[in-house]
Amino acid sequence: MTQTIEYTRERADRFIRESKHLLRPDYRLNYHLMAEFGWMNDPNGFVQYNGEYHLFYQHYPYQPAWGPMHWGHAVSKDLIKWEYLPVALAPDTEFDSGGCFSGSAVSKDGKLFLMYTGHVVTGPDKDSDYKQSQGIAVSEDGVTFKKHPLNPVIGYDQIPEWVSQKDFRDPKVFERDGCYYVVIGSNDGAGNGLVLVYRSDDLMNWTFVGELARSEGRFGDNWECPDLFELGGKEVFMLSPQRMPAQGEQYRNLHSTMTVIGAFDGKTGRFDMEKHAQVDHGFDFYAPQSTLDEKGRRIVIGWMDMWETDMPTQNGHYWAGAMSLPREAVLHGDRILYRPVAEIENYRLNAYWETDIQLNGVRELPVGGDCYELEVVFEAEQAEQFGLKLRVGDGEETVLSYRPDDQLLRFNRDRSGIGPGGERRALTRLEDGKLGLRIFVDKSSVEVFVGDGEIVMTGRIYPGAASKGIHLFANGACRLVSLRKWDIK
Ligand code: FRU
């Protein structure tokens, strides 16, 4: 195995240690994970191991921009407060010389196994000249990882000839019926994303099983970050389709996230797609990955950003990218509900509440902030439109509004500060004439959970530090049934 000298874990750790003082705190989040320094994208290797949650992430420490991928690593007891561990993987071997791309983790015989994509640049145009294969790294202590000497364990020659010979990435491993399966994202080279399935007894020797599913012209031209899991007695296929065409108000970002409920056949590798849904209806959520924890919860976490959008912290702040709140996925009928993990409630401080207030016009709350949780229930009554304005100040506001006539909840960030604007809308039915929202604001993020978690909308915003106001508003009469607010520290 030839070593490339440029990138090593030690060099990355040293660079982070020596550069950390440069970070600008302005938009750093309080209760969401970011890279310790530099760039972060996809969550990787999400797993509970020896009782602790491990989360790895696509990481380029040297710039607040995507570059040859490393795996950053953080550990947590409660999914909210994270502690950084040394960089787990650097692109330092032949099969991953261009980057250690996304992948997953599984524990076996007390050891922690990572399976990830080795990316190799093969020509002058790094955007089109590349190849990808899958490798393994193993740790005995959950901190230091050794790459397997026989990597790749799924090589270029194991890619079926009818699919892309280049895009072959993001292995998600799971155990089932006494063996291991892995799902890997790809495309057919003709505009359709697809996913391949392989099987193994030992995580080292893999046999191709079949094609899980494919886009069929509807769901994007390349599929990234597949995941397959059981939920409430059903099977769920979660994926990140690239360049998926919008469907009405849905799938309006450049790249989307989607779940499909259906049935998986381990013999053929086939997944029968029954019902699909968007995972998050906001602006900034991509490449989610799930894990099953020791409490039996299926927890989903996503990258709280979007490719090819302007990220203001890339200029002069020395960091970019963050993770969403970890969300528990629960099956309800044929819908998946997402709820922030209960642990977040342990961080509530300074409770404030109001109940039963008639609204018509604007009402400014006597409390505000930039890191908080807000739980609010409106009763629509005669109002044409009602909602909330967050991070209000000096010409800035982030608006969440609802109109009973079109049943759309709107998240508008046109006046949210620096950074991209725009509006996302999600069809939301009132329950007994009421709309319940649970909102998490953290410095440069907003996550809105509707009702029981039927809809989630996530977006990054970059308001001025003094924009801390919270306003309620209604055009026409409506009732604020209840409002509760906590600072989250
Ligand atoms: C998704 C993705 C993955 C890839 C990784 C590279 O955001 O494009 O497909 O493994 O990012 O950083």
pLDDT of residue 202: 97
Same domain, 135 and 14: yes
Q: Does residue 439 sit within a domain?
A: yes
Let me know how long the chain is. 489
Residue 483: which CATH number?
A: 2.60.120.560
Last residue of a domain, one of 290, 315, 340: 340
Q: Is 169 in the pocket of ligand 1 (CB under 6 A)?
A: yes
Distance 193 CA to ligand 1 centre (A): 14
Tell which of 310, 340, 370 closes a domain: 340
CATH number of residue 143's parent domain: 2.115.10.20
Cis before 68? omega within 30: no
- CA–CA distance from 199 to each of 130, 165, 380 (Å)? 25, 20, 53
**Whether residue 419 sits in one domain with residue 321:** no
- 336 and 350 assigned to the same domain: no
| 170 touches ligand 1 (CB under 6 Å) | yes
Which among 135, 136, 196 is positioned nearest to 164, based on CA atoms?
196
Q: What is the pLDDT of residues 407-429, one digit of tens each?
A: 999 999 999 999 999 999 999 99
- Structure tokens given for 117: 């994509």
Both 313 and 369 in one domain: the answer is: no
Is 273 found in the same domain as 398?
no
Is 189 part of a structural domain of the chain?
A: yes
The residues, ordered by sequence, that sit 6+ positions from 467 with a Cβ below 8 Å of its Cβ are 370, 391, 392, 393, 394, 396, 397, 417
Pick the closest to residue 44 from 25, 34, 59 (CA basis): 59
Are both 16 and 164 inside the same structural domain?
yes
- Would you say residue 4 lies in a domain? no
Centre of ligand 1 from the C-alpha of residue 432, in Å:
42
Average pLDDT, the chain: 97
For residue 101 and ligand 1, the question of a CB distance below 6 A is answered with: yes
Determine the residue of 58, 115, 239 to mutate for testing ligand 1's pocket, defined as the one with the most ligand atoms within 8 A of the Cβ atom: 58
Q: With a 6 A CB cut-off, is 96 part of the ligand 1 pocket?
A: no
Burial per residue of 407-421, b for 16 or more beta-carbon CB atoms within 10 angstroms, e otherwise: ebbbbbbebbbebbe
Q: What is the pLDDT of residues 121-154, one digit of tens each?
A: 999 999 999 999 999 999 999 999 999 999 999 9
Ligand 1 site, residue 58, Cβ cutoff 6 A: yes
Q: What is the DSSP letter of 245?
A: P
* Same domain assignment for residues 255 and 391: no
Q: Does any ligand 1 atom lie closer than 6 A to the CB of residue 440?
A: no
The mean pLDDT value for 246-270 works out to 96
Both 312 and 403 in one domain: the answer is no
Phi then psi for residue 222, to 5 deg, are: -150, 140
Query: pLDDT at residue 441 above 70?
Result: yes
Q: Are residues 280 and 402 in the same domain?
A: no
- Do 308 and 358 share a domain, yes or no? no
69 pocket-lining for ligand 1 (C-beta < 6 Å): yes
Pick the catalytic residue: 42, 92, 96, 221? 42
How many C-beta neighbours within 10 Å does residue 135 have?
24
What's the whole-model pTM score? 0.97
384 and 440 both lie in a single domain: yes
Residue 468's domain spans which residues? Answer: 346-488
Q: Per-residue pLDDT for 396 more than 90? A: yes
Q: Does residue 2 fall inside a structural domain?
A: no
Separation CA 484–CA 478 (nearest Å): 18
Q: Would 1 be classed as within a structural domain?
A: no
**Is there a single domain that holds both residue 200 and residue 287?**
yes
Is residue 219 in a domain?
Answer: yes
Q: Is the dihedral of CA 18, 19, 22, 26 positive or negative?
A: negative
Q: How many domains does the chain have?
A: 2
Tens digits of residue pLDDT in 303-354 = 999 999 999 999 999 999 999 999 999 999 999 999 999 999 999 999 999 9
> pLDDT digit string (tens) for 24-52?
999 999 999 999 999 999 999 999 999 99
Whether 42 sits among the annotated catalytic residues: the reply is: yes
- Ligand 1: centre distance to CA 240 (Å): 10
Among 309, 340, 371, which residue terminates a domain? 340
- 136 CA distance to ligand 1 middle (Å): 17
Element (H, E) at 12: helix 9-19
- Percentage of the chain exceeding pLDDT 70: 99
pLDDT tens figures, 177-198: 999 999 999 999 999 999 999 9
92 secondary structure, DSSP code = -
Place 199 in a pLDDT band, splitting at 50, 70 and 90: very high
Residue 69 Cα: closest atom of ligand 1: 12
- Residue 5 pLDDT grade (very low, low, confident, very high; cuts 50, 70, 90): low
Tell me, yes or no, whether 113 lies in a domain: yes
Q: What is the dihedral of CA 30, 32, 35, 38, to 10 degrees?
A: -70
Query: Could you tell me the distance, in angstroms and rounded to a whole number, from the CA of residue 167 to the centre of ligand 1?
Result: 10
Q: Which atom of ligand 1 is nearest to the CA of 307?
A: 7
C-alpha span between 90 and 100 (Å, rounded): 7
